[in-house]
């Protein structure tokens, strides 16, 4: 079933401007892919959804998020520690531009570099410039190569045009691709011409003008959903998570309850004019985690504060 257009357009990942010489095209970025398959939750026997926690493998002691530090392994078992301030200082400067400084033939881009697709949608009355750029790129068969910053990460991106629509494809950097030699493909024998012709004939005999949509279906996901619905209809193995207002014996649930009560108080404080700025980024993240704020792991301190205030207020 197709996703309603209004649901997709309500969640722009990024908004800014494509610049090309003296031309500026305001656009918004929307995901062209969505998660497929069937998602399963990990549950306790009584139906309570489980959560992942950090533990020290030596002592078995639980490590809270604000106690976790990050490090780069320079050799086996030896790390260089990096704190939030050092990492934030390395973050790219935020920009609202995709500057198309270089164009290359689309056919010259190795498909292995393509990572994730996004639609670029015209904004702020830019339909004419958008259509002009899309048509020109499509007729020349060129793709624009640029970098842009989304959230706190810089992306390499190819801007493509197809059917009058601009699409952004984030690209994997060169060091993210393995060479064929890594899979042992550096010393293959040459194929005999007669064998090549025989295979060509077999391929042409099975060739089709386009892909059958039936071949793109996830058969396993469909079988799994049928099994779930059949068991649900019979009332077989159906469990409901226990009510959250009862007392629990686990420290995890107690901690979450405390954090949520704390955030309720934070909301009251924010309404009174006080600020969350006095908290550390780790403390803000802990509260964002308690409130189940999406995208919290990539937020800056200021973004965490705004997100918490929106939920708490």
Q: What is the pLDDT of residue 169?
A: 93
Indicate if the pLDDT at residue 36 is higher than 70.
yes
Q: What is the pLDDT of residue 244?
A: 57
Tokens of 284: 């803000």
Span between the terminal Cα atoms of the chain, in Å: 35
Q: What is the pLDDT of residue 103?
A: 93
Q: Nearest Cα to 151, choosing from 17, 11, 297?
A: 297
Selected residue with higher pLDDT from 275 and 260: 275
Indicate if the pLDDT at residue 270 is higher than 50.
no
Read out DSSP for 93-126? Answer: PP--EEE--EEEEGGGS-GGGEEEEEEEEE-TT-
Question: pLDDT tens-digit profile of 204-226?
Answer: 998 888 888 878 887 878 888 88
In the chain the domains, ranked by start, together with CATH numbers, are 5-36+91-175 (2.40.290.10), 251-312 (no CATH)
């Amino acid at each position: 079933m197709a996703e309603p257009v209004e649901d997709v357009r309500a969640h722009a990942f990024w908004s800014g401007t494509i610049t090309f010489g003296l031309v500026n095209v305001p656009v918004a970025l929307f995901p062209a892919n969505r998660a497929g398959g069937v998602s399963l939750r990990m549950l306790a026997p009584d139906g309570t959804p489980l959560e992942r926690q950090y533990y020290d493998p030596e002592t078995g002691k639980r490590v809270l998020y604000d106690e976790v530090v990050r490090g780069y392994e320079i050799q086996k078992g030896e790390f260089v520690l990096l704190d939030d301030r050092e990492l934030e200082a390395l973050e790219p400067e935020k920009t609202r531009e995709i500057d198309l400084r270089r164009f290359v033939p689309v056919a010259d881009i190795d498909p292995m570099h393509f990572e994730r697709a996004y639609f670029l949608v015209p904004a702020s009355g830019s339909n004419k410039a958008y259509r002009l750029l899309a048509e020109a790129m499509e007729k020349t068969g060129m793709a624009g190569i640029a970098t842009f910053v989304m959230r706190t990460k810089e992306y390499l991106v190819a801007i493509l045009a197809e059917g009058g629509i601009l699409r952004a494809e984030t690209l994997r950097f060169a060091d993210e691709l393995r060479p064929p030699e890594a899979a042992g493909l550096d010393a293959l024998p040459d194929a005999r011409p007669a064998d090549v012709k025989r295979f060509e004939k077999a391929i042409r005999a099975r060739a089709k003008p386009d892909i059958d949509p039936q071949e793109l279906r996830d058969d396993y996901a469909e079988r799994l959903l049928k099994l779930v619905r059949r068991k649900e209809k019979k009332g077989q193995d159906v469990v409901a998570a226990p009510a959250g207002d009862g007392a629990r014996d686990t420290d995890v649930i107690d901690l979450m309850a405390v954090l949520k009560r704390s955030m309720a108080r934070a909301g009251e404080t924010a309404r009174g004019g006080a600020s969350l700025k006095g908290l550390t980024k780790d403390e803000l993240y802990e509260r964002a985690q308690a409130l189940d704020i999406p995208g919290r792991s990539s937020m800056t301190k200021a973004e965490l504060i705004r997100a918490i205030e929106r939920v708490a207020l």
